[in-house]
Amino acid sequence: MFRDAALVCGKDLRIEVRSRVTLNQVVPFAAVVVILFGLALGPDRKVLAPAAAGLFWVAVLLSAVLAVQRSFAVESADDAREGLRLSGLDPAGIFLGKVAAVLAELLVLEAVLTFAVALLYGAHLQQAGLLGASAILATIGLAAIGILYGAVSSGLRVRETLLPLLFLPIAAPVLLAATKSWDISLSGGDGGAGTWLTVLGVFAILYVAIGTLAFGPLLEDR
Partner 1 sequence: MTAFAGTGSSGAVGATDPAQVGASPATAPVLPTGPVPGAGTLLPVSRSHVRAAPALRVTGALAVLGVAATVWLGLFVTPDAVNFGNLVRLLYVHPPMAWVAFLAYGVAGLSSLLYLWPRTRDRRVDRLAGASAEAGVVFTGLTLVTGSIWGRPTWGVWWAWDPLLTTTALLFVLYLGYLALRRVPGDPETVAKRAAASLVAFLDVPIVYFSVTWWRSLHQPPTIDLAGRHLYVHGSMAWTLLLGFVSFTLVYVWLVGHRYRLARLRDEESSHGLELALAERRQEGAT
Give the burial string for 179-194 (b: 16+ CB within 10 Å, else e). Answer: bbbbbbbbbeeeeebe
Q: Which of 173, 187, 201, 205 binds partner 1 (CB under 8 A)?
A: 173
- Residues in the interface with partner 1 (CB under 8 A) total 33
Q: Which of 6, 51, 80, 152 binds partner 1 (CB under 8 A)?
A: 152
CB of 16 to partner 1, least distance (A): 26
63 binds partner 1 (CB under 8 A): no
CB of 174 to partner 1, least distance (A): 9
145 binds partner 1 (CB under 8 A): yes
214 binds partner 1 (CB under 8 A): yes
54 binds partner 1 (CB under 8 A): no
162 binds partner 1 (CB under 8 A): yes
| Closest to 184 measured CA to CA, from 163, 199, 171, 162 | 199
Stretch that binds partner 1, among 38-46, 75-83, 107-115, 190-198 (CB under 8 A): 190-198
CB of 10 to partner 1, least distance (A): 26
84 binds partner 1 (CB under 8 A): no
- Residues ≥6 apart with Cβ < 8 Å to 37: 51, 55, 58, 59
Q: Which of 180, 181, 186, 208 binds partner 1 (CB under 8 A)?
A: 180
170 binds partner 1 (CB under 8 A): yes
CB of 65 to partner 1, least distance (A): 13
**Contact residues: partner 1, CB under 8 A:** 145, 148-149, 151-153, 156-158, 162, 165-166, 169-170, 172-173, 176-177, 180, 192, 195-196, 199, 202-203, 206-207, 210, 214, 217-218, 221-222
